[in-house]
């Protein structure tokens, strides 16, 4: 069977990267996936095949040399990208007109047919297309553990509740048709976001730093506060980092952060990586110390361990990657803004009441508010106004009594879901 693509001795060198002596053939009629780690050279190989970049070696596509027959070959190729890369100010109708000048075989009528099938407005600019016309946004959420339910809860309050919360799937739809939620291990989420498997994620600072993922932190979600600590047995003589020596053994679920911490203190102690129950390592004699997460220190005390030092203070963050932040900016910012609104509303209450105008100044004096109370007329025989304000939850008890004494009546205290 004749090969559709032939690559022989492909070489391309950048600073810090080299693609060397790559050769392969793809038979006609094949479906092929190109996979590899970040930086392995997948994009460089594809760009070389398409002659987008200059590289050394022999490349044939459809039986012809791509460098000598680029225009002819590319007129016969199709591509589906994760973004159109077309100007947002073009309309489908204008795109149809432009493409026929690039491709000799462009079928204008077929393009118009698909525009109708997919119900795309032919005179509407791409920038004005709905998100559903462009691409959905995926948010990774921990599938289990201490931060799973709070993460789902904050999404629900932000208007992104799961349509079927009782039967969670790997990828679950939300009540926003443009946004899906993917469930994953919390430790995998930073890399999923970095590798653009998902656009956004909710996970801990400890896991972000441990994975060394290149992500953008958007919002501190103000829950899941914990510390990564260095701990030793209660009866040991290790009371500070100065008591450690390089011949000691440290057990941990966080080898990267632990190694960095030890190196910063000039130590080369052996590190044993465990996947759970780190607290028992000193007890069974496989380690002298541990590094582990703790919120209250209770579990450490139960296992007769004492905190020697705090390595990292962690909280839960909403994260994204540079590409999603750039190409799905509108959706990413909408999610961030809604979640910020939920956090802002925590421990806030909306207080509403009716006040006679003669008592209004007294009420205003005792009323704390974010931006001052909102006052509106009430249709009543008495000269009365409605007053409402957002206040801190911890002042509600005393404030209600003060308001009543100042002349307010019909006082309502209402929880707030979001403040935008």
Domains of the chain by start residue, with CATH: 1-79 (3.40.50.300), 134-224+317-344 (3.40.190.10), 226-314 (3.40.190.10), 347-415 (3.30.70.120)
Q: CA 177 from chain center: how many Å?
A: 18
Cβ-Cβ contacts under 8 Å for 193 (sequence gap 6 or more) = 140, 199, 200, 201, 213, 215, 319, 320, 321
Give me the residues paired with residue 202 across strands: 318
* 35: Cα within 13 Å, side-chain hemisphere: 2
Quote the CA–CA distance of 189 and 140 in Å, as a whole number.
6
Determine contact, residues 126/86, Cβ cutoff 8 Å: yes
pLDDT given at position 85: 55
User: Which tens digits make up the pLDDT trace of 388-420?
Assistant: 988 888 889 989 999 999 999 999 999 888 887
The owner of tokens 């709905």 is 130
167 CB contacts (<8 Å, ≥6 apart)?
A: none
Q: Is the pTM of this model over 0.75?
A: no
With cut-offs at 50, 70 and 90, classify the pLDDT of residue 36. Answer: confident
Question: Which DSSP category does 82 fall into?
Answer: S
Regarding beta strands 249-252 and 171-173, do their DSSP bridges make them parallel or antiparallel, or are they unpaired? unpaired
**What is the per-residue pLDDT for 87?**
64
- State CA 274 to chain mean position distance: 27
pLDDT value of residue 419: 82
Q: CA-to-CA distance for 106 and 99, rounded, in angstroms?
A: 7
Q: How confident is the model at residue 195 (pLDDT cuts 50, 70, 90)?
A: confident
CB 350 within 8 A of CB 388: yes
> Is 132 in a helix, a strand, or coil?
helix
* Long-range contacts, 36-39 (Cβ 8 Å, 24+): 38/195
Structure tokens at 205: 């600072």
How is the beta sheet containing 200-204 ordered, strand by strand?
A: 171-173, 179-184, 137-142, 200-204, 316-320, 216-220
128-165: per-residue pLDDT in tens? 776 555 567 999 999 888 899 999 999 999 999 998 77
Helix (H) or strand (E) holding 319: strand 316-320
Average pLDDT along the chain:
88
Query: Average pLDDT, stretch 272-277?
Result: 89
Q: What is the mean pLDDT of residues 165-188?
A: 84
Per-residue confidence (pLDDT) for residue 369, from 0 to 100 = 63
Confidence (pLDDT) at 271: 96
What pLDDT score was predicted for residue 18?
A: 86
d(CA 165, CA 148): 12
Least confident of 37-46, 151-160, 221-230, 318-327: 37-46
pLDDT score of 316 more than 70: yes
Given this model, what pLDDT does residue 135 score? 67
Contact 108, 96 (CB under 8 A): yes
Over range 324-346, report the average pLDDT: 91
pLDDT at residue number 16: 76
Burial (CB < 10 A; 0-12, 13-18, 19+), residue 39, is exposed
Q: Give the residue-averaged pLDDT of 328-354.
A: 91
d(CA 220, CA 319): 9
Query: Residue 202 has what pLDDT?
Result: 97
Q: How far apart are CA 397 and CA 37, in angstroms?
A: 58
- For the chain, the residue count is 420
- Beta carbons of 366 and 406 less than 8 angstroms apart: yes
Contacts of 121 (CB under 8 A, 6+ apart): 92
């Amino acid at each position: 069977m004749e090969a559709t693509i032939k690559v022989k001795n492909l070489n391309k060198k950048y600073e810090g990267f080299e693609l060397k002596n790559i050769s392969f053939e793809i038979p006609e009629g094949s479906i092929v996936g190109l996979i590899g780690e970040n930086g392995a050279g997948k994009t460089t190989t594809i760009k070389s095949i398409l002659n987008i970049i200059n590289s050394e070696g022999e490349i044939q596509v459809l039986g012809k040399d791509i460098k000598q027959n680029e225009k002819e070959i590319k007129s016969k190729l199709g591509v589906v990208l994760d973004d159109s890369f077309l100007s947002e100010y073009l309309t489908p109708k204008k795109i149809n007109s432009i493409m026929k000048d690039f491709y000799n075989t462009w079928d204008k009528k077929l393009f118009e047919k698909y525009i109708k099938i997919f119900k795309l407005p032919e005179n509407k600019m791409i920038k004005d297309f709905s998100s559903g016309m462009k691409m959905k946004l995926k948010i990774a959420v921990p599938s289990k553990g201490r931060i799973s339910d709070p993460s789902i809860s904050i999404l629900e309050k932000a208007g992104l509740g799961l349509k079927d919360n009782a039967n969670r799937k790997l990828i679950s739809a939300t009540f926003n048709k443009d946004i899906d939620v993917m469930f994953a291990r919390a430790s995998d989420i930073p890399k999923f976001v970095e590798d653009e498997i998902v656009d956004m994620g909710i996970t801990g600072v400890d896991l972000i730093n441990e994975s060394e993922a290149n992500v953008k932190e958007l919002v501190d979600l103000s829950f899941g506060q914990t510390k990564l600590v260095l701990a030793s047995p209660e009866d040991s003589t290790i009371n500070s980092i100065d008591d450690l020596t390089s011949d000691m053994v440290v057990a941990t679920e966080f080898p990267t952060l632990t190694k960095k911490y030890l190196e910063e203190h000039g130590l080369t102690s052996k590190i044993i990586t465990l996947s759970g129950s780190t607290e028992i390592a000193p007890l069974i004699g496989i380690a002298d110390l541990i590094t582990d997460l703790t919120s209250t220190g209770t579990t450490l005390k139960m296992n007769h361990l004492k905190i020697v030092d705090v390595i990292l203070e962690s909280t839960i963050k909403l994260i994204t990657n540079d590409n999603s932040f750039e190409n799905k900016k509108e959706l990413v910012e909408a999610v961030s803004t809604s979640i910020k609104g939920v956090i802002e509303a925590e421990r806030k209450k909306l207080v509403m009441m009716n006040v006679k105008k003669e008592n209004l100044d007294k009420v205003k004096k005792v009323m704390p508010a974010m931006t001052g109370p909102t006052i509106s007329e009430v249709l009543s025989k008495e000269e009365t106004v409605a007053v409402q304000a957002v206040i801190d939850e911890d002042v509600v008890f005393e404030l209600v009594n003060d308001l009543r004494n100042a002349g307010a009546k019909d006082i309502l205290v209402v929880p707030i879901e979001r403040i935008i």
